[in-house]
Chains A and B, each alone.
Chain A
Amino acid sequence: MSCELTQRFVSGYLDGELDLVRTIEVEAHLKSCEFCARELENQQALREALRRSSLGYAAPASLRNKIQASLDAATAARVPEKVSAWHGLQMWRWAAAFAVLVVCSVAAWQLLPGLPALSSNQRLAAEVFSSHVRSLEANHLMDVVSTDQHTVKPWFDGKLDFSPPVEDLASDGFPLIGGRLDYLGGREVAALVYQRRKHFINVFVWPDASGSSAASVMESRQGYNLVRWSRGGFHFWAASDVSAADLAEFVRLLETRISPGTT
């Protein structure tokens, strides 16, 4: 082996990374060439100097803490994603609003119990809650903007496999302001939007196969009130930041309008 080749391979020889044939060739040359042998010694001296100096930097404790915190956030952020995947929802609808939701509700999600233990109502409540928050923050409150129930109701025709009951409660201080399609529990649902002064109420409606009635149940979640009930062959969920009393009144009015005979 020539000096030129040896100079090229001596570094790999030092690292023990040459194949057997090259190793033998380099060793043979080093025995007979003082210049190249000196080069190897110099490289060894450099390596020893580098190792002796322990130039590596250890990760600071502050970095470890920051990483744990950002992993907490990332782990928490995965929860709604899992809920939607769980139900086979269309991910793209979630994506846009997701970042906003993460920022404002990381703390909220950390309080969620483990998903496998969630009852279907708890899962739905989580979805209703996030859907409500998302509708407000992603600037996607309504697909059809109208205070006229006779405009809103036909709008859903052909978009859903059912015709949701649409009632305007303007005379009672809860004007209907529009509607949109939404996804809950793995299916398309109608979302009706009502207004109470500066606040919005989302009412999610989809058919109830059992046809049974269920009295309204209210819960609160991170400052929002959620109400669920079943009546007249439909499931209803309402979500809003209006007071619990206002929301209860709203639900009572809506129930009266939709099934006048039963209340």
Chain B
Amino acid sequence: MPETPKRERFEQTVLPHLDAAYNLARWLTRNDQDAQDVTQEACLRAFRFFDGYQGGNMRAWFLTIVRNTCYTWLHQNRAPGGSDEVFDEEIHSTDESGGASPEIQALAGADRETLRRALEELPEVFREVLVLRELEGMSYKEIADVSSVSLGTVMSRLARARTRLRQALGASLGKES
């Protein structure tokens, strides 16, 4: 079978972002096997849609497909009423003050496992935005593209996500000390 140019282009432009794809899927599904399945499925979808790729930010294009594949998968495989099915940002928009935040020293001393667990337990929208920003280093514009929301939503979601994460860390670090 000769390599088609499409396959070569795909491997050269999309697959370099496989770590980012798996990372996002891993954080959204919270499970290695599921993340692998979702990433593989997303790769095939990306390959299928590759002809329609109009240029631009390849990583954002690919992660958009990964994200959508993740949510389709989560929707199909999660029992309704799961712990973080839906998070209504409007309803919860005022109950987060910085008051319960741990001190800087506590954050500095937080070990990897504590952080990992705190991030994993956040609602999906917050996990997603933090992974894209802090782990993948994406700009707000890129995050807005991947998550199909406005820049303003990215900013407010990220602010809230950080507050929630600090609260979660404060609770778990408080328990430990």
Q: Which stretch from A51-59, A193-201, A209-217, A246-254 is at the chain B interface? A: A51-59
Q: How far is the CB of A95 from the nearest CB of chain B, in Å?
A: 14
B27 touches A57 (CB 8 A): yes
Alpha-carbon distance between A112 and B2 when the two chains are bound, in angstroms = 9
Within 8 Å by CB of B108, from A45, A54, A64, A110, lies A45
Q: Decide yes or no whether B74 CB sits under 8 A from chain A.
A: no
| B108 with A70: CB separation less than 8 A | no
Count A interface residues, CB 8 Å: 46
Tell whether B1 is near chain A: CB-to-CB under 8 Å.
yes
Residues of B within 8 A of A75 (CB): 1, 4, 6-7
A residues 57-76 near B (Cβ < 8 Å) are: 57-60, 62-64, 66-67, 70-72, 74-76
Total A-B residue contacts, Cβ distance less than 8 Å:
125
Q: How far is the CA of A113 from the CA of B10 in the complex (A)?
A: 21
In the complex, the answer to whether B22 meets A53 with C-beta atoms within 8 Å is no
* Minimum CB–CB distance for B10 against chain A, Å: 7
A150: B residues at CB distance < 8 A: none
Please name all residues of chain A whose beta carbon is closer than 8 Å to the beta carbon of B35 when the two chains form the complex: 57
> Are A67 and B158 within 8 A (Cβ)?
no
Cα distance, A109 to B2, chains bound together (Å): 11
How far, in Å, is A240 (CB) from chain B's closest CB? 26
- The answer to whether B47 has its CB under 8 Å from any CB of chain A is yes
Set of chain B residues within 8 Å of A12, measured between Cβ atoms: 140, 155, 158-159
Which of chain A's residues have a CB closer than 8 A to the CB of B68?
Answer: none
Q: Does B48 contact A (CB under 8 A)?
A: yes
A49 near B1: Cβ-Cβ < 8 Å = no
**With A39-B98, A63-B40 as given contacts, are A71 and B26 in contact (CB-CB < 8 Å)?**
no
Q: How close is A44's CB to chain B, nearest CB, in angstroms? A: 8
CA distance in complex: A15, B21 (Å):
22
> Which residues of A72-86 have CB atoms within 8 Å of chain B's CB atoms?
72, 74-76, 78-79
B43 touches A67 (CB 8 A): yes
Question: Within 8 Å CB of B169, what residues of A?
Answer: 46
Query: B residues within 8 A CB of A48?
Result: 107-108
Query: Contact at A64–B18, with CB atoms within 8 Å?
Result: yes
Which single member of B19, B27, B40 contacts A70 (CB below 8 Å)?
A: B40
Given A42-B107, A46-B165, the answer on whether A55 and B119 have CB atoms closer than 8 Å is yes
The closest CB in chain B to the CB of A14 belongs to B162
> How far, in whole Å, are A70 and B128 apart by their CA atoms in the complex?
27
- List chain A residues, Cβ under 8 A from B155: 9, 11-12, 17
B67 CB to closest chain A CB (Å) equals: 15
Closest Cβ–Cβ distance, residue B21 to chain A (whole Å): 7
Q: Could you tell me if A7 and B133 are in contact, using CB atoms closer than 8 angstroms?
A: no
Nearest residue (CB) in A for B133 is A15
In the complex, which residues of chain B have a beta carbon less than 8 angstroms from the beta carbon of A47?
Answer: 134
With a cutoff of 8 Å between Cβ atoms, the chain A residues found around residue B133 in the complex are 15
Nearest 9 A-B pairs (CB), nearest first?
Answer: A11-B159, A59-B22, A45-B107, A53-B112, A45-B104, A57-B26, A110-B1, A114-B2, A50-B134
Given A42-B166, A56-B19, 9 additional A-B pairs, CB 8 A? A46-B162, A48-B107, A48-B108, A51-B134, A54-B112, A57-B23, A59-B19, A63-B40, A109-B1
Q: Can you spell out 15 A-B residue pairs with CB atoms less than 8 angstroms apart? A: A12-B140, A17-B139, A17-B140, A47-B134, A49-B115, A53-B112, A55-B116, A57-B23, A57-B27, A57-B35, A58-B19, A60-B22, A67-B43, A70-B40, A109-B1
